[in-house]
Amino acid sequence: ISEVLPADKAQVVRDLQAKGRRVAFVGDGINDAPALAGADVGVAIGTGTDVAVEAGDVVLMQGDLRAVVRARALAKKTLSTIYWNFFWAFGYNTALIPVAAGVFYPFTGLLLQPALAAGAMSLSSILVLTNSLRLRYFQPPRFAGEAAPQAPAPRSGARVLLYTSPGCPDCAAVKAWLEARGVAYEERDLSRPEIAEEAVRNYGVRVAPITVIDGQAHWGTFAEQRRALEQRLGAGVPAEAAG
């Protein structure tokens, strides 16, 4: 459903839910916030308003709506992996816990030494972890007419320092932007007192993220920094990446 008037968006979501439907809503504006909050899954566009980002359950780091399809595919793959982890862990423990407890010893003489039992339990964790690591090789769906992924662009010759802090979404957005364009950077953690003092001494601010390009500092949200990043680091970057 698209092209709904701003005042009707939340009502449309409620009407669909009243019919027993599970609703996902995608939006990026201030008037989308009530519908994003009321939907079963609210998908906010990261390049949109802060209100929409706060109201969404999922935030896309780019403005391409095809990312919604990719996010859904990744979510389904993740859920499938979780189910398989439950299956293997439950089956493994169901089979080995009675052996470790000596349930079969009176009948078969089968008994695990405590050290071996502990190792077997660790093997269960390794099995689950290894299965989860398969998500690293997830391939998002391709769309008709979509160009094949290109190799990273040549790295810019600029020296880039990136001051970040833990849990900072704008820091993650700047890092993703730099890495997608193959730009080398040195990351510094503002949660460390000496790094924070360095930032204040050199640039007069200590609020993450701070991006320093050849000695010139830029700070603020990712949206506020993006224009400067494109102007300073756009050289040598493919047009589709710089846009």
pTM to 2 decimal places: 0.52
- CATH for 8-63 is 3.40.50.1000
pLDDT in tens, 90-135: 888 888 778 777 777 777 777 777 787 778 778 888 888 998 998 8
**pLDDT tops 80 at residue 10:** yes
Signed CA dihedral, 167, 171, 173, 177: sign only: negative
Listed residue (51, 41, 55) closest to 13, CA to CA: 41
CA dist 1 → 12, 48, 120 (Å): 9, 20, 52
**pLDDT tops 50 at residue 153:** no
**pLDDT tops 50 at residue 239:** no
Query: Which tokens belong to 146?
Result: 């979509």
**pLDDT tops 90 at residue 203:** no
Please, which residues have CB within 8 angstroms of residue 226's CB and are 6 or more apart in sequence?
Answer: 177
Strand, coil or helix: what is 196? helix
Structural Rg of the chain based on CA atoms: 25
Angle 207-183-52 from CA coordinates, rounded to 5°: 50
* Confidence class for position 148, pLDDT limits 50, 70, 90: low
pLDDT in the model for residue 171? 92
Reported as type and span, the H/E element at residue 82 is helix 66-100
Listed residue (59, 27, 240, 28) closest to 146, CA to CA: 240
Domain spanning 160-242, CATH class: alpha beta
* Confidence class for position 226, pLDDT limits 50, 70, 90: confident
